[in-house]
Amino acid sequence: MNLAALSLNNRDYKTAEENFRAVLGMQPKNYEAVIGLGVALRGNKKIDEAEAQYNAAQKLDSANPSSYFNLGLLYQDYKGGEKPVLQKAQEYYRQFLSKANGNTPDPLKKEAEKRIKDIDETFVALAEAAKMQAEAEEMQKKAEEQQKKMEEEMKKQDAAEAAAKTQADAKGDGKTAPGAAAPAGKEGAAPAAGTPGTQPPPANGAAPAGGAPAAAPAAGAAPAADAADAPPADDASADKGKKKKKKK
């Protein structure tokens, strides 16, 4: 037993575990050996086995405060930092203090009181952290909503600008482009003066409107004037001879 306790004090948990098991093999109801084995198992990171040993010690002597303190220590330092686990640790510390007696070392009682206070402060810190987390999540949610709203507004603005541009382009396509032909007037209207090839042939050899020369008659066609109206060439010469004799 002394060798097991010495190994435990030197934090040689493997050797301590072997020695305490050897003691319990001979003295199964040795309370100190059961607690010592639990501490050695805890040192070897065998948390569930250590808890089983502490519970076994309680069954051997429920009035002894040692098992309660060790259970509180196990839950606070080795079972995680969740609130229910820490509350369980506080409960064990309080049971330890309620069962403390004249044989209980004062430093151990002060340690239990300090640990209870530390856990209370941890609860305050956890509550503050949870509050800050909730506020941060709320701010993040509002920021995301604002961002989404801005994106929707930008989409609406882009859509409105695109619609206005489409409408402007449509109006521009309806206007007469520079240099394009003017739309035709009423059916049967005369073309503009001076436009070649667009006027009807002049009547009786008259010059076409706008001073454009009349089109030449086709080959073999009759002259525009009637041949019967022109005086014969011989008659014209006779008239000229008569006039000369009279002057003489």
Domain 2-127 = CATH 2.40.10.220: no
User: What is the Cα gyration radius of the chain?
Assistant: 63
Nearest residue to 40 via CA among 19, 65, 64, 68: 19
The pLDDT value given to residue 14? 94
d(CA 76, CA 122): 11
Does residue 50 surpass a pLDDT of 80? yes
Q: How confident is the model at residue 239 (pLDDT cuts 50, 70, 90)?
A: very low
Contact 40, 25 (CB under 8 A): no
Q: How confident is the model at residue 232 (pLDDT cuts 50, 70, 90)?
A: very low
Strand, helix or coil at 221?
coil
User: How many angstroms from the chain centroid is the CA of residue 131?
Assistant: 27
115-158 confidence digits (pLDDT tens): 999 999 999 998 888 888 898 998 999 999 999 999 999 999 99
Interior angle at CA 40, CA 36 and CA 44, nearest 5: 165
Mean pLDDT of the chain: 79
The pLDDT value given to residue 9? 87
> Tokens standing for 230?
């022109």
The pLDDT value given to residue 110? 96
The pLDDT value given to residue 114? 97
d(CA 210, CA 201): 13
The pLDDT value given to residue 80? 85
Does residue 212 surpass a pLDDT of 80? no
176-209 confidence digits (pLDDT tens): 545 545 445 444 444 444 444 444 444 444 444 4
Residue found under tokens 């239990």:
112
Distances, alpha carbon 149 to alpha carbons 4, 158, 159, in Å: 71, 14, 15
The pLDDT value given to residue 178? 52
Which pTM value belongs to this model? 0.57
> Residue range 70-97: average pLDDT?
95
10-32 confidence digits (pLDDT tens): 899 999 999 999 999 999 999 99
User: How many angstroms from the chain centroid is the CA of residue 4?
Assistant: 63
The pLDDT value given to residue 7? 86
Q: Where are the domains of the chain?
A: 2-127
